Amino acid sequence: MDLVLINMSLIEIKNASVIYNKGLSNQMDALLGASLEVESHEYVIIFGPSGCGKSTLLNVIAGLEKPTQGEVYIDNENLDELDADRLAKFHCTKIGMIFQAYNLLPSLSVRDNIILPQMFLGANNKKDRRRKADELLDKVGILEQANKIPTELSGGQQQRIGIARALINDQPILLADEPIGNLDSKSAQNVMGILEELNKKDKKTIIMVTHNPEYLNYADRVFYMKDGKIEHEVVNKKSKLHKAKKEITPREKEFEMLSRSFPGLSDAQLHLLMVPFKAKILAEYLLTSYDIEENQRLAESIAKRILGKLNRSELRTTLDRPLEKGGVGLNERTASRFSSEAEKIIESAELFQKNLESDASRLGLEEFDLKVKLATRHLIRSFIKEINEEQKKRIEHLVKKRLANEIGREMFRDTLDLPFKKGGAGLDKRVVRKIVRELEVILLVKFGMEEESIKSKVHKV
């Protein structure tokens, strides 16, 4: 059975462009290939200099501007498919708009300005309309001004009227076009406080356009625009919504950290800051023939094996399964080799968590010494073809010191490589590298393995 994919975002813009006088000498590109998604109850700011296309994008979302190309979905409705009547109803029921210039009717009272959108919905109960308007006036703190006309009030008070008017039909989405652009700092803070409360307490989805960086921290996300394009997106570190959505990868965290710390940088400047990150990606590319997604899937599968969520055969099957079916996408031969090597490491790590007291006692050894001997035997069998008894003893002595953390990785490596006459094990450099690498991985995997296994079992219960 075919699956039907449903857009779960409240707002989705797909590759929208608005081009005036297309193909003529006076062609103007107001918006170019804009794509964004906004979740329900989210607070988003579109930020950029004057003339960058912010208001055009907002008008596209509102359905006031039809894109030259691209699609606009609001609550899973394609605005391009709505006829005039349905689009008018959409404006009244889905979206409330707050304008920089207030756009109030000076011939009507404050209360009647707020009630006006109710008339378009056919709300004929005058008492209910008045009650609802007064509730909103009280909410924005100007109920006592209800019978005045807008021109008798300050700019900040007029903007509060605009907010109340945008809420009268209980629209889930508020679009605010430079709502504080004409206000003094105190009035601006009051208006921003009202918008924040509407988002947090009333769960309104808010999209605000501004060129003032002072207010960016109010948003969950900020879309930076320039020359009609969305250049990049920054997630606000205080946003609980986006922390809960998914666990982002270290690479995503690194990029977001740079974007958040240096939002005003150009692409070229950001490139310079990301050189170490890019170098790491290039190094991974040179060291392995597998892409980032395959490496990530491989790591996820091995993590499940370490936690006991996959057994040996399940790991082998997962490595061989195609990517599109949730596997790693390795060929059969590579999947078998990787699985075998992973099991070798995991079994060696698990050795240190096992209770070998009875076996050690039977051999006349301390339990730790028996584990050292078993670890040493594993390393020798894996990497050394020819070795004498004295070398075995020297390697075992060094392995014991490393497992007891009496020497570090460097000392362990250097002593294995040192000539036998100088107190070393006299091993070939290539063999030393393999032994050190194997043992360090085993030590890393074994760290906390017992606790991880317990947590996994508790989780299953």
**pLDDT one-digit tens code per residue, 169-202:** 889 999 999 988 888 888 888 889 999 999 999 9
1 part of a folded domain? no
What's the pLDDT tens digit per position in 286-296? 656 666 667 77
Instruction: State whether 28 and 154 are in the same domain.
Output: yes
Instruction: State whether 178 and 207 are in the same domain.
Output: yes
Question: DSSP H helical segments within 247-323, as ranges?
Answer: 250-261, 267-273, 275-287, 292-306, 312-320
What's the pLDDT tens digit per position in 110-129? 998 898 888 777 656 788 88
Amino acid letter for position 110: V
Per-residue burial over 8-24, b if 16 or more Cβ lie within 10 Å, else e, is ebbbbbbebbbbeeeee
303 part of a folded domain? yes
Which pLDDT value is given to residue 4?
Answer: 38
The domain that contains 71 carries what CATH number? 3.40.50.300
113 part of a folded domain? yes
What's the pLDDT tens digit per position in 242-274? 544 445 555 555 555 555 555 555 555 555 555
Instruction: State whether 162 and 174 are in the same domain.
Output: yes
Over range 138-156, report the average pLDDT. 90
Which pLDDT value is given to residue 124?
Answer: 62
Instruction: State whether 72 and 214 are in the same domain.
Output: yes
Instruction: State whether 135 and 236 are in the same domain.
Output: yes
Q: Give 277's pLDDT tier (boundaries 50, 70, 90).
A: low
Which pLDDT value is given to residue 244?
Answer: 47
Instruction: State whether 253 and 307 are in the same domain.
Output: no
- Domain span including residue 132: 11-245
Of 343, 366, 386, the last residue of a domain is 343
| CA-CA-CA-CA torsion sign (378, 383, 385, 389) | negative
Residues whose CB is less than 8 angstroms from the CB of residue 412 and which lie 6 or more positions away in sequence, other chains included: 398, 401, 402, 436, 439
Instruction: State whether 136 and 117 are in the same domain.
Output: yes
Instruction: State whether 211 and 82 are in the same domain.
Output: yes
Q: Give 72's pLDDT tier (boundaries 50, 70, 90).
A: very high
Which pLDDT value is given to residue 122?
Answer: 66
224 bridge partner residues: 47, 232
Total domain count, the chain:
4
352 part of a folded domain? no
Instruction: State whether 325 and 404 are in the same domain.
Output: no
Instruction: State whether 278 and 182 are in the same domain.
Output: no
Q: Give 1's pLDDT tier (boundaries 50, 70, 90).
A: very low
Which pLDDT value is given to residue 372?
Answer: 93
Of 245, 264, 296, the last residue of a domain is 245
Residue 152: DSSP 8-state: G
4 part of a folded domain? no
> What's the rounded Cα separation, in Å, for the pair 162 and 105?
11
Over range 360-382, report the average pLDDT. 92
Instruction: State whether 190 and 100 are in the same domain.
Output: yes
Secondary structure (3-state) at 313: helix
Of 320, 343, 366, the last residue of a domain is 343
Which pLDDT value is given to residue 455?
Answer: 42
> What's the rounded Cα separation, in Å, for the pair 292 and 326?
15
421 part of a folded domain? yes
Position with higher pLDDT, 238 vs 83: 83
297 part of a folded domain? yes
349 part of a folded domain? no
Q: Is the pTM of this model over 0.95?
A: no
What's the pLDDT tens digit per position in 196-223? 999 999 999 999 999 888 888 899 999 9
Over range 51-74, report the average pLDDT. 91
Instruction: State whether 96 and 44 are in the same domain.
Output: yes
Over range 378-402, report the average pLDDT. 91
> What's the rounded Cα separation, in Å, for the pair 110 and 107?
10
**Nearest alpha carbon to residue 207 among 12, 61, 8, 63:** 61
What's the pLDDT tens digit per position in 413-422? 999 999 988 8
Q: Give 68's pLDDT tier (boundaries 50, 70, 90).
A: very high
Q: Are strands 43-47 and 69-74 parallel, antiparallel or unpaired?
A: unpaired
